[in-house]
Structure 1
């Protein structure tokens, strides 16, 4: 069970890093990039879900 938790933690960390890299590759303003990076870093799972929704076709209007 501990191995599964460790693998899940590493997977979430990897996805967080990829999401933050993707945030910094977008054309949004620097202030928003900082806010998104903090949200993803401080709320790893929720931040990933929020970023995924924001980057979908529905959320692109809001960025």
Structure 2
């Protein structure tokens, strides 16, 4: 199993929090927001990468 520690773990945490805030602020339906959030929470690295390319963005 691949583990992140130290600065790498902190970077992943910051990126995941950014993704979760963007998901929460998007215009997606509640169901889609929950599914995206679960993906980012349970698969932090892969979930962030998938969200970055395909996920909903926060409104400006």
**Normalising by structure 1, what TM-score?**
0.77
User: Larger helix proportion, structure 1 or 2?
Assistant: 1
**Who is 1:47 aligned against?**
47
Partner in structure 2 of residue 29 of structure 1: 29
Larger radius of gyration: 1
- Superposition TM-score, scaled by structure 2 size: 0.81
Give the unaligned 5+ runs of structure 2: 56-60
> Which sections of structure 1, spanning at least 5 residues, go unmatched?
56-63
Distance between the aligned counterparts of 1:29 and 1:44, measured in 2? Answer: 22
Q: How big is the shift at 1:26?
A: 0.6
Deviating beyond 6 angstroms after TM superposition, the runs of 4 or more aligned structure 1 residues are: none
- Higher relative contact order (Cα pairs below 8 Å, separated by 6+ residues): 2
Count of residue pairs brought into register by the alignment? 53
* Cα distance in 2 between the residues matched to 1:14 and 1:41: 12
